[in-house]
């Protein structure tokens, strides 16, 4: 066989082999990607909330696994909300500082629901010790509506209660009050037999 023909044949052969090799490599890569995707899906499916077997002594609801992002987020939010409500329920006046600090920290939570619940919790506590934390949160928040909501809560807490600074004993009527009862009591339409005797 002439050398030129041999060389040409070898070149063609190598070219074919190279092309085959390149083609095989790209297919493998695609196959690997598919396999990875399938694995990911399999993990996602496996991560769907599954009730764990319950013991005989405890029939509490199962704690779901946390791999799905939306489900994870919902569960985390739910736990945060439960914690906030538990804190508000525990407040008895003597433990307010710790509860206020915890709720104030949640004003920086990335979830709006949690921030709103914490703000509502602080409003329910109605403790002026919460005002510094609220002011700081108002300074840090970007959303103007959230800022206004925080400022409203600050204003609410600052406002004195309707019975603050009142006499402690009985329902005293001030001697300076101008209310004087008409001597003959009139009856409204359908007034009851429970009306007091005329003055």
Partner 1 sequence: MKTTLALTVSLAICAHSQLLATQLLTENVKEGTITFSLTGQRQTSVSQTTAPNVGFWTNGPTHYQTGAVKITQTDIIRYIAVTKFGEANFYGSSPQLVLVQGELSGFFTMTPDLAAAEPFLSYTDTNAVPNVNVYDVGRILATNNPDFTTVIGSATNSLYQALANGRAFETNPITKNNPVGHLQPWGQIYVKYTQRVGGTNTTYYDNVTFFFGLTVQECYDCFYLNSFVSDTAFSWKKTTTPGRQVGPPCCSVASTTNSVLLGSGHDSYFLTLNFDDTQANPYLNSTNILFSGIQGIAPDVGALDGLVPDLISYHDSITYPSGNASPYEARFTLNGIFTYNWTLQFVNPADLYPDFVGSGSLSATGFGFLQLYCTLLTGSMSISERIVRGSWYYPWYINNEGDWSPTGYDVGWYSIGIYCDVYNTGFYESLNSDVIFFFYGFVPSTPFNTGANLTYHTGFPATYEPYVVGHRLDTSLPSLGEPVVGGYGGSFEQSPAPLSLPFVSIEPVSGN
* Minimum distance, C-beta of residue 142 to partner 1, in the bound complex (Å): 26
Instruction: Check residue 26 for interaction with partner 1 (CB under 8 A).
Output: no
Residues in the chain: 199
Binding partner 1 (rule: CB under 8 A), the pick from 68, 126, 129, 136 is: 126
Q: What does residue 194 show for φ and ψ, rounded to 5 degrees?
A: -90, 0
Binding partner 1 (rule: CB under 8 A), the pick from 3, 110, 144, 161 is: 161
> What contacts 66, CB < 8 A, 6 or more positions away?
47, 72, 75
SS3 of 155, please? helix
Instruction: Check residue 70 for interaction with partner 1 (CB under 8 A).
Output: no
Instruction: Check residue 189 for interaction with partner 1 (CB under 8 A).
Output: yes
What is the 3-class SS of 100-142, one letter each residue? HHHHHHHCCCCCHHHHHHHHHHHHHHCCHHHHHHHHHHHHHCC
Instruction: Check residue 93 for interaction with partner 1 (CB under 8 A).
Output: yes
* Minimum distance, C-beta of residue 156 to partner 1, in the bound complex (Å): 6
Binding partner 1 (rule: CB under 8 A), the pick from 38, 41, 90, 128 is: 90
């Amino acid at each position: 066989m002439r050398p030129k023909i041999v060389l040409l044949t070898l070149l063609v052969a190598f070219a074919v082999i190279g092309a085959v090799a390149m083609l095989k490599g790209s297919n493998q890569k695609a196959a690997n990607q598919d396999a990875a995707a399938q694995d990911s899906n399999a993990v996602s499916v496996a991560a769907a909330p599954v009730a764990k077997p319950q013991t005989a002594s405890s029939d509490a609801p199962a704690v779901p696994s946390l791999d799905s992002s939306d489900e994870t987020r919902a569960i985390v939010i739910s736990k945060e909300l439960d914690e906030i409500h538990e804190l508000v329920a525990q407040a008895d006046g003597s433990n307010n500082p710790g509860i206020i600090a915890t709720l104030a920290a949640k004003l920086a939570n990335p979830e709006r629901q949690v921030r709103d619940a914490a703000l509502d919790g602080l409003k329910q506590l109605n403790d002026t010790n919460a005002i510094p934390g609220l002011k700081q949160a108002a300074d840090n928040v970007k959303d103007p509506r959230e800022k206004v909501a925080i400022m409203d809560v600050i204003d609410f807490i600052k406002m004195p209660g309707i019975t603050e600074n009142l006499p402690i004993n009985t329902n005293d009527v001030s001697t300076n009050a101008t209310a004087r009862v008409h001597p003959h009591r009139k009856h409204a339409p359908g007034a009851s037999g429970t009306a007091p005797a005329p003055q």
